[in-house]
Amino acid sequence: MWAFFLPLVFLGFILVQSVREQVVPAQVIGASRTAQGGAAAYLAGTRAALAFAEANPGYSGPIADSQLAPYAKPYALPTGFAAEIQNGQLVAWSNPQSPSLTQDVWRSTGRDCAYAVNANGTLQSPCGPTGISPNGVPAGSLVYFIDMPHN
């Protein structure tokens, strides 16, 4: 009797999967997880930079996209995202951003003071001015800036 029902169950599973793929293609299912823009992708980039820094104590210098990508999954890094460790500080930024993205990031992080905007050389966070922007960060960029005690 099992010999009769087991193939029927298997065939039913295959039919359901093929119908599901036709109704909801795989690209649509993964689209929200691999979005190129927005607060989620930016935050994935900053978290990837932090994970890289923690996994590589003593590292100093720019962090390549290829070094960040394994830590950012399932997100893709946003266009213009950069990160580096300079003088024991992790700095990650994205090219000049819209005020709405900045507000989305601040809202998503509970207004974390580590996220700021480079306002002509001064980092402006939800907590007020938090310091001088690191070298190489363009004005208007959304910046993640923290001390790395072991780097």
CATH 3.30.450.360 for domain 38-147: yes
The pLDDT of residue 101 is above 80: yes
Instruction: Give 96's DSSP letter.
Output: S
Domain residue limits, the chain: 2-31, 38-147
d(CA 89, CA 130) in angstroms, rounded, equals: 14
- Quote the pLDDT of residue 35: 36
The pLDDT of residue 10 is above 60: no
Question: Residue 26 corresponds to which amino acid?
Answer: A
- Quote the pLDDT of residue 125: 93
The pLDDT of residue 19 is above 60: no
pLDDT in tens, 105-148: 999 999 999 999 999 999 999 999 999 998 889 999 999 999 98
The Cα angle at residue 103 between residues 129 and 138, in degrees rounded to 5: 55
Put simply, whether the predicted model's pTM sits higher than 0.85 gets the answer no
N- to C-terminal Cα distance for the chain? 66
pLDDT in tens, 47-98: 999 999 999 999 999 999 999 999 998 888 988 899 999 888 999 999 887 8
- Quote the pLDDT of residue 127: 92
State which H helix or E strand residue 104 sits in: helix 99-108
The pLDDT of residue 34 is above 50: no
